[in-house]
Amino acid sequence: MSKKLFIEDLQVKGKQVLVRVDFNVPLDDNMKITNDKRIAASLSTINYLCEQGAKVILMSHLGRPKGERKPEFSLKPVADDLSSRLQNKVSFIDDCIGDKVEAAVSSLNDGDILLLENLRFYKEEEKNDASFAEKLAKPGEIYVNDAFGSAHRAHASTQGVTKYIDKCAAGYLMKKELDYLGKALESPEHPFIAILGGAKISGKIDVISNLLNKVDKLLVGGGMMFTFYKAQDKEIGKSLLEEDKLALAKETLGKAGEKMVLPVDCVAAPEFSNDSPSQTVSVDAIPSDLRGLDIGPQTIELFKKELAGAKTVVWNGPMGVFEFDNFAAGTNAIAEVLAECTDTGAITIIGGGDSASAAKKAGVAGRISHISTGGGASLEFLEGKTLPGVAALSEK
């Protein structure tokens, strides 16, 4: 991250600063925000710019309006929420390009904030249309990207605008994400352990490939463990299987050797339902009429043992069907173990998405070193991919 321009490297007083934030927050039927984590995460960048006397122009997407102006995806409720958190009133304008926007920007005083309407009301945003990007960039003298959750997308607001603004810098949230994830991949303290879960090998195989030569151990849970078992000719009953990934699973097991630690037992049930009667079975003896829905108690103890003394831990993906309370024990236990690792001095990183929800549900989110705000972006970063929104920022 040190090679990219950071907002503290810039003189922003009196400048019109165009800031890409991630205000893609869930709204209920009454247009009330039900989870404000992303708004809270953006406050340090917004506050800094205001204190430094910048004219702050915020832009974000919300939901999937697919290029149409849909009132239920308006960012107006976010402007109201932001106003209640900041000393400065947040003005809102119902467009993101054009004369109306330029007029609103020209009337801003130093330290004022303007939030633009949903970028995705224009289909050109996701198409990274050059003409749209140029219009979007027009009011900006400086560009700041603080939307890590969208950094893996080459959209007009994350990449296109940078061609029309000279100085493009990372905000505080972006820097924090890149510093934590970057250090874990480039210079982690050892022992370095990765925990990967989730349903499918296909969604995690690039992460496994990228992490194998970096980690000391790779703990695997979730639905994808059954494809690995099948590759070892084990009976997996009605458990999740990616038939077309068996050869890949076999090859990965061969490459990983003793680095990869698979569960030794699982909680299985006849149906994919919270109320389905469950039993704990050895992974060498899964009955043909049952499906595995969580890791078992012996596996929890095994994983705890592997994590004892870890200095860096990265977790991405639940250990079971944690949305069902009866099959959330494995995921909750891993969340708790991660919190304990943090308490004893380890750097712990959760890669957003379901794992972030699980940590919150388990009540340990405050005890994790870093929980990423971008599920897809953190996954691609862990895969070793270049994120377009990061690559587009100016070098120092």
What is the set of domains in the chain, with CATH numbers? 7-175 (3.40.50.1260), 188-382 (3.40.50.1260)
| Rounded Cα–Cα distance for residues 200 and 203 (Å) | 6
Give the model's pLDDT for residue 226.
97
CB under 8 A, 24+ apart: contacts of 5-8 = 5/167, 5/168, 5/169, 5/170, 5/393, 5/394, 5/395, 5/396, 6/169, 6/170, 6/175, 6/396, 7/45, 7/48, 7/49, 7/144, 7/169, 7/170, 7/171, 7/172, 8/48
pTM score, two decimals?
A: 0.90
Give the catalytic positions in this structure: 38, 200, 353, 376
Beta 265-269 vs 279-282: how paired, if at all?
antiparallel
Q: Which residue has the higher pLDDT, 117 or 87?
A: 117
For the segment 174-198, the average pLDDT, to the nearest whole number, is 94
For residue 63, give the amino acid letter: G
pLDDT of residue 32: 87
**Highest-pLDDT range among 81-85, 103-107, 178-182, 383-387:** 103-107
pLDDT in tens, 128-151: 999 999 999 999 999 999 999 999
Q: What is the pLDDT of residue 2?
A: 60
Tens digit of pLDDT for each residue in 91-131?
Answer: 999 999 999 999 999 999 999 999 999 999 999 999 999 99
pLDDT in tens, 276-286: 999 999 999 99
205-259 per-position pLDDT tens digit? 899 999 999 999 999 999 999 999 999 999 999 999 999 999 999 999 999 999 9
Least confident window among 159-168, 196-205, 210-219 = 196-205
pLDDT-based confidence at residue 203 (cuts at 50, 70, 90): confident
Q: What pLDDT digit, counting tens, does each position of 322-336 carry?
A: 999 999 999 999 999
What is the pLDDT at residue 189? 95
Q: What is the pLDDT of residue 44?
A: 96
